[in-house]
């Protein structure tokens, strides 16, 4: 649908010019910064006069500032703090958390506060915890947290608190459910999947041929066999899905690949969960273009219209709007919180 709103060539040139201008400004800033650093290194720093050593300060049990967060996030979780009467070990806590895995279709996580690290972490055997917090996800692609799921969650939390002689700060149900609906509405407006299609100009392709091409290109077959996945490492070096390749309704594990045939390959980008910094749509388009060249095909949108440079620029513009919307909410595309929100 986004590709259908193709921009004119003048619009495309204007957007490209703006991007070039921004890139040039960034380059000039980097050069100026490098020059300033070089001058600072060339100038010897003044040696301060020796000062008497200060008396050692007492070591604080907990560093200043809030504890470092782990997985639970107030952006998408309803969080219940549990205040322990005394420290509790991971060995004592873990056997009591069997009911704290899911509430209906929503993920539940429990974390403990380690004072010496001033950090929250998943409860682990061998560690002692000052406090606990339990979070249930407010929304996912299955919909918002409902009253029944909330009640199930609270019942499990109360049981855990009683077992640990802890006090729980329980949230209001109506307020929590309202927050869940609001978050679900926001997510629905950002839950965009973009597809481009590679259409054969001649005879249909066999599924065996498509499988061979995808495998040679380094794509990995999904567990259910319905699609191939292109992975790419993020900034932390973790391999994350970037886009998928589908060949109609073919299941590459169950179907007879020598008999199954078709003329259309679909490359699908799940926009909010793909790392924005990796420029995923650009990667999808480039790969689709190479496929079309190699397989005697053309690249088209969902309405079977050829994708032009102007239409690509129009799609990029719409993507930028979506990325800004996610960024403003504190959950950039491809971030852990976005991956959790846009999941089942």
The whole-number pLDDT of residue 308 equals 84
Residue 97 is encoded by which pair of tokens? 């958390």
Q: Kindly list the structural domains of the chain, giving each domain's residue range(s) and its CATH number in brackets, ordered by start.
A: 77-186 (3.30.1400.10), 192-341 (3.30.1400.10)
Plot region of 330 (φ>0 → left; ψ -120 to 50 → alpha; else → beta): left
The whole-number pLDDT of residue 304 equals 84
Q: Which portions of the chain are predicted below pLDDT 50?
A: 1-64
In the block, residue with structure tokens 């065996």: 208
The whole-number pLDDT of residue 65 equals 59
pTM: 0.75
Alpha-carbon gap, residue 231 to 214, rounded angstroms: 12
The whole-number pLDDT of residue 319 equals 93
Torsion angle in degrees (nearest 10) through CA of 181, 186, 191, 192: 150
The whole-number pLDDT of residue 50 equals 44
Q: Could you tell me if 266 and 252 are in contact, meaning their C-beta atoms sit under 8 angstroms apart?
A: no
């Amino acid at each position: 649908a986004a590709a259908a709103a193709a921009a004119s060539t003048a619009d495309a040139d204007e957007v490209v010019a703006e991007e070039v201008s921004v890139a040039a400004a960034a380059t000039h800033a980097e050069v100026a910064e490098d020059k300033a650093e070089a001058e600072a290194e060339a100038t010897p720093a003044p040696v301060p006069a020796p000062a008497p050593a200060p008396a050692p300060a007492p070591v604080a049990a907990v560093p200043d500032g809030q504890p470092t967060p782990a997985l639970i996030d107030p952006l998408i979780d309803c969080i219940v703090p549990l205040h322990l009467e005394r420290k509790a070990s991971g060995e004592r806590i873990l056997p009591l958390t069997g009911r704290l895995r899911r509430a209906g279709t929503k993920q539940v996580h429990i974390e403990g506060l380690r004072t010496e690290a001033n950090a929250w972490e998943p409860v682990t055997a061998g560690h002692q915890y000052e406090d606990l917090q339990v979070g249930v996800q407010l929304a996912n692609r299955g919909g918002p947290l409902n009253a029944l799921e909330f009640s199930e969650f609270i019942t499990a939390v109360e049981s855990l608190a009683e077992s640990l002689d802890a006090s729980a700060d329980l949230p209001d149900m109506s307020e929590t459910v309202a927050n869940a609906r609001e978050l679900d509405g926001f997510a629905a407006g950002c839950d965009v999947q973009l597809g481009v299609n590679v259409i054969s100009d001649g005879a249909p392709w066999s599924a065996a041929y498509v499988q061979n091409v995808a495998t040679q290109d380094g794509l990995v077959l999904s567990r259910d066999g319905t699609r191939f996945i292109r992975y790419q490492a993020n900034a932390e070096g973790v391999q994350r899905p970037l886009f998928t390749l589908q060949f109609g309704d073919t299941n590459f594990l169950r179907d007879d690949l020598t008999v199954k045939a078709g003329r259309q390959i679909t490359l699908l980008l799940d926009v909010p969960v793909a790392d924005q910094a990796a420029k995923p749509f650009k990667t999808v388009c480039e790969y689709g273009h190479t496929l079309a060249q190699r397989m005697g095909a053309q690249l088209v949108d969902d309405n079977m219209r050829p994708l032009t440079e102007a239409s690509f620029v129009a799609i990029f513009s719409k993507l930028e709007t979506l990325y800004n919307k996610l960024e403003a909410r504190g959950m950039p595309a491809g971030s852990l919180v976005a991956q959790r929100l846009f999941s089942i």
